[in-house]
Structures are given as structure tokens and as C-alpha cells.
Amino acid sequence: MDREHPNISGSGDFLSLLREQGHLPQPTPLRSAGAPAVEITEGTTILALRFRDGVMVAGDRRATMGNTVVYDRADKVLSIDDCSIMALSGSPANAYEIARMLEISFQHYRRSQLQEMSLDGKLRTLSRLIRENLPMALQGIGAVVPIYATYEEPRADTYARPVGGTGEGAGKIYFYDVLGAQFESVDFCTTGSGSPIIRGALYYLDRWGSLPLAKMTREESLELILKMLETAAEFDTATGGYKPISRIFPQIMSITASGITNVPEIELELLYQAHLPGGSPEGNSEGKGE
């Protein structure tokens, strides 16, 4: 036991330590029967896909409360450390707190152990944070369903799919359910209210398209992501589309052997003009032809 801090035990990880000291709340009890329902802000839609050099992670910018648009510039794609990105769907309040605690946990481990946390350790930490959010998710007011993407140089003793390019097989995509169960996606993943609309399209293109997703160039992947988000915005009111007048663009990050890169808005604007003339119907003042 620490003599200067007698109430701090010498065991347990960083999250347990914070909870023991009262810096993290205890699990929230379920909402009692008959209690009034609370409308909670939610954010959708997010997706990630592997391309030739790594992983591309994207999200629309809309946050909703029921059928009301609360905000159209929400950040749903966050860099957690130098080699990992997390995209958030569900309750922004809980999602941002989970992302913050995940980032702090990685920093604490790095500073206390003088080395980076292993990938398995990072995945388990995120899984536990989501599981501890279960009481809120069961109430229907705080579910968080993230996508976690990372990049690891392939080792000689591990199997990597021959996708072409340098650093092949190094991009990894993981997603979780509300219970914290972890799953790995091979080539693409999408969650949120607009995900059912674009999941089938991504599967079709990956299997029967002219080029598998994992062999696409950076620009080809960006073009595909913009088209998928526009497709979701067309059929899902909770997903925000491109608005050329207000210049609202999706948030997109890529992770490769060179690190994490935030795709600038000017590049997205040029891609929209080149490949999606007119943008989203909600942002096109002339409307769609009949």
C-alpha cells in the first residue's frame, strides 16, 4: 500500500483505480417501471473499410433526438492514440466518455509500463468499457456501438491475406455489440441507423465488383465512402448528407503505416464535385428531376 496515499490499493488496473477513488460513477441502476421516457441525442452512421494501404474510417455528421435534428456537425471519428481510430454511433454523451476513458487508459499504461498496450489489451479495455455501459443501454437511452480500427505491421509468422500493395494485411477493423462482445471484420464494417442500407451494397461490391475493397486506392475508397453515406442519407432520415450550401462534409480518417491522417474538407469537396454532381438532394436547391 502506498504510504503517502493509504487509500490507494496496489492492485487493479487504471479504470478500477478511478472507480475505487470515486472518480468514475458506479453502474447506473435501470430506470424504474413507469418512469417517463427520456429522449436522448443519438449519432449515426459510421463505417470502416480496408483499402490497399490501410483502413479508412468515416461517419456522417448528424446527431438526432427522435425525429429532430439536434446538430449537423457532430464528430464521430476520433483518434485514440498514434495507431488506432474509433468511430462512434449511438449516444454521443456515453460514446465520448468511453473514448476519453479509453485514451486515458492507453496513456496510463504507456507511462506506467514504459511500453504500448498490446492490441488484445486495447480490445479488452474497450470491451469492458462498453459492458459497463450496459445498464444505460438496457434502458434504451445510452447504447454505444463503436468501430475500432488499427494498423499493425504484419509479422513473418502470421498469415496475411494477399491484398496487394505494401503493408498488406496490416489494417484491422473491429466492432462491438452493446454487451461488449468483440468481432473482427475482414474488409468492411458499418453500424448505426443507416448501416443496413449500405451493408448489402458494400458486400456486393466487395464480392462481385470490378475490384475488391482491399485492393482499392485511397481515392477510390474515399469515393466509395462518400457514395455509401449519400445512399444512407437518401433512405435514412437520421443520416446527414452532403450540403453544398452549408459545406457540411462527412468526417473521414485513414490509418496506414505512415500514421493517422484526417481527410481535409477541401479534398472531400473536390471529390463530391467530381463524382457526385449536385450532392445530396437535401442540399441541392434545384431538387431532383422527376
Question: Please, what is the Cα angle at 143 between 230 and 250, to 5 degrees?
Answer: 25
CA pair distance 181, 178, nearest whole angstrom: 7
Domains and CATH numbers, the chain: 39-279 (3.60.20.10)
* Catalytic one of 28, 44, 158, 191: 44
- pLDDT for res 244: 80
Choose the weakest-confidence range: 40-44, 66-70, 112-116: 40-44
Contact between 60 and 194 (Cβ < 8 Å): yes
Using the predicted structure, report yes or no on whether residue 40 has a pLDDT greater than 80: no
Question: Quick one: which H or E segment has residue 3?
Answer: none
More confident site: 157 or 196: 196
Q: What is the mean pLDDT of residues 80-94?
A: 92
CA pair distance 201, 203, nearest whole angstrom: 5
Using the predicted structure, report yes or no on whether residue 72 has a pLDDT greater than 60: yes
Residue 217 designated active-site: no
Amino acid at site 117? M
- pLDDT for res 39: 56
pLDDT band with cut points at 50, 70 and 90 for residue 149? very high
Using the predicted structure, report yes or no on whether residue 49 has a pLDDT greater than 60: yes
pLDDT band with cut points at 50, 70 and 90 for residue 163? very low
- pLDDT for res 92: 86
In tens, the pLDDT along 218-257 reads: 999 999 999 999 999 999 989 998 888 888 999 999 999 9
Closest CA to 147 of 197, 102, 182, 100: 182
Contact between 94 and 142 (Cβ < 8 Å): yes
Q: Report the predicted TM-score, pTM, of the whole model to 2 decimal places.
A: 0.80
Using the predicted structure, report yes or no on whether residue 6 has a pLDDT greater than 50: no
Average of per-residue pLDDT values in the chain: 82
Choose the weakest-confidence range: 3-12, 83-92, 134-143, 255-264: 3-12
Percent of the chain at pLDDT > 70 equals 75
- pLDDT for res 285: 39
Choose the weakest-confidence range: 27-36, 92-101, 168-177: 27-36
pLDDT band with cut points at 50, 70 and 90 for residue 155? low
CA pair distance 3, 1, nearest whole angstrom: 6
CA atoms within 13 A on the CB side of 163: 26
